[in-house]
Amino acid sequence: MNKMAKKFKYSIEDMKSALADINNKILSLDKAAAQYGIPKSTLSMKLSGKTPPNRKMSPSSFLTVEEENKIKSWVLNNAKLGFPLRTDDVKDSVQKWMKLFLKRNPEIGKRNTEVISKATAAVTEDKIRNWFQELDSYLVSEGSRDVLNDATRIF
């Protein structure tokens, strides 16, 4: 039997209601979890402030909601016009975009196509320490070092 991660189906509104009911002492943690279909551990994390109440524990999208809605409209409009798109059609569009993007930005393509030599691929403690120092310097230069202290960014 394939053991897949269980997906929970609750809305942000359900989460807010459950938290409000717990905070207002209308429901206990156990009862709120059962009533709203939200795992007790998730409610507990939200109550403790370890994760924000409006964030679901799932990978975030690379696209904005607006960008996803534009793609959705494109797919639905094509279907309405009698040209339903298959998954491969959407993938082909993305691959075409990527090819043109790399053509417009050749410095990206050069870096990605470099051959990794055995010496480059060998991992040493010094190389790892150096990588973390470079990462720290980069985050400081971007004014983003505080992300390392944000518990919601742990995955």
Single-letter residue type at 91: K
- Count: domains in the chain: 1
Report yes or no on 53 lying in a domain. Answer: no
The pLDDT score that the predictor gives to residue 58 is 64
How many whole angstroms from its chain centre is CA 61?
Answer: 5
Alpha helices in the chain (DSSP H): 12-23, 29-36, 40-48, 65-80, 87-104, 106-112, 118-121, 125-141
CATH code of residue 28: 1.10.10
Least confident of 2-6, 11-15, 27-31: 2-6
pTM (whole model) above 0.75: no
Q: Is residue 25 part of a domain?
A: yes
